[in-house]
Structure 1
Amino acid sequence: MKRALFLDRDGTILVDPGYPRDPEAVRFIDGAELGLRVAQDLGFELVVVSNQSGVARGIIQPSEAKAVHDRMVELLRQRDITLAGSYYCFHGPDEACRCRKPEPGMLEDAARDLGLDLPSSVMLGDRRTDIVAGKRAGARAVLLGATIPEADFCASTWGDVVAYLAKHAAEVSP
């Protein structure tokens, strides 16, 4: 089985403008591209797991959400970075679903679909819901840009994330 780096999208990989809809406005967080490349080189499968409630709220159309995703994938591909999978929850926060973080459904689905080992995997995000989802799935959880006690590690920058992943990869093999 393989290990994964599960990634929230907005605020972790991409600058979060709030309900992104314009693919031409896609911008990476400082250090994200290099960090993703290093994670890939360390043997992590890269998997996006992202809540996109703007669709349920009627703020963005499914086609706009897809266009933003496709642009991100295109830009990553230009940098020889490949996503093993992408899982999106389009439900609103009041809907009872198993996929919306902090529920672990997207991570569990990815593990099943892609043959991933959750205990040797890491969830990276910028919100408490990302951390809780990762922990509930049985993965390690890293918070980017803030500090909360539930996180296994709190990173100020993508450079901190890379250092954590290198240490984790050396300590844990799938």
Structure 2
Amino acid sequence: MKKAVFLDRDGVLNEVLTSRVKFVNHPGQLFLLEGAAEAVAEITNAGYPVFIVTNQGGIGLGFMTEEKLRKVHKRLTSMLEQKGGKVIDIAYCPHKPTQGCTCRKPEPGMLIDLAEKHGINLSDSVMVGDHERDVEAGKAAGCKTVFIGDGETKADAKAPSLAEAVKPIISLLGS
């Protein structure tokens, strides 16, 4: 079974709630955060598969369609590949935030499903996110965790950006 890196999308890879974009509901609203593509490339080049796990309640709330989300993710993976990064698979929760599903973070459903599908050992893997719900999902799945941001966290490591989190991520994968 392989080790892997699971990344939240909004706030880790791309802008959200910025002066340029509030939420990413179509491909033109996708702007990568500085150094994010290079960070994914560095993780990829270190030999670790990268997965994205993202809550997309905008689908359940009617702000976007799953087809539009597929186009956003196609643009995202293309932008990451241009810098040498590779995303193996993307899991998303389309449900409304209050729907009570088992896939919406902080529940671990998306991580567990990807691990089963791709032969990933969750206890040797790392979940990276910018909200405590991401950390909680990672811990519930048995992963080590990295928090992106400057707030309080129960994560195993913390960094101000994905670019600065690469070393702690690689370190946790080695331990």
Same fold (TM over 0.5): yes
- Could you report, residue by residue, the CA deviation over 1:6-31 in whole angstroms, capped at 9, with x for unpaired residues? 01111111111333123123211111
Matched, 1:144 2:148: yes
CA displacement at 1:82 relative to structure 2? 1.4
Residues matched between the structures, number: 171
Q: 1:114 to 1:31 in 2, by over 3 A?
A: same
1:124 is aligned to: 128
Deviation beyond 6 Å, 4+ runs, structure 1: none
Which residue is equivalent to 1:82? Answer: 86
**1:14 lines up with 2:14 in the alignment:** yes
TM-score normalized with structure 1 length:
0.92
Give how far 1:164 is off. Answer: 0.3
Paired AA for residue 41 in structure 1: N
Q: Distance in 2 between matches of 1:48 and 1:162?
A: 15
Paired residue secondary structure (1:54) = helix
CA deviation digits over 1:16-75, x for unaligned, max 9?
A: 133312312321111111111111122221000000000111112222212111110121
Q: Which moved more, 1:30-39 or 1:97-106?
A: 30-39
Q: Which moved more, 1:25-34 or 1:5-14?
A: 25-34
Q: Tell me how far apart the structure 1 counterparts of residues 103 and 69 of structure 2 sit (CA, whole Å).
A: 17
Equivalent residue for 2:5? 5
Query: Structure 2 unaligned runs (5+)?
Result: none
Of residues 70, 75, 98, the one that matches 1:71 is: 75
TM-score, L = length of structure 2: 0.92
Task: Show the counterpart of 2:115.
Answer: 111
For residue 97 of structure 1, what is the amino acid of its counterpart?
A: C
Please list every run of 5 or more consecutive structure 1 residues that lacks an aligned counterpart in the other structure: none
Structure 1 position 160, deviation (Å): 2.6
Give 3-state SS (helix, strand or coil) of 1:81's partner: coil
C-alpha contact 1:143 1:151 (8 A) present in aligned 2: yes
Counterpart of 2:5, as a letter, is L
Contact 1:8–1:50 (CA<8 Å) still a contact in 2? yes
Superposed CA RMSD? 1.4
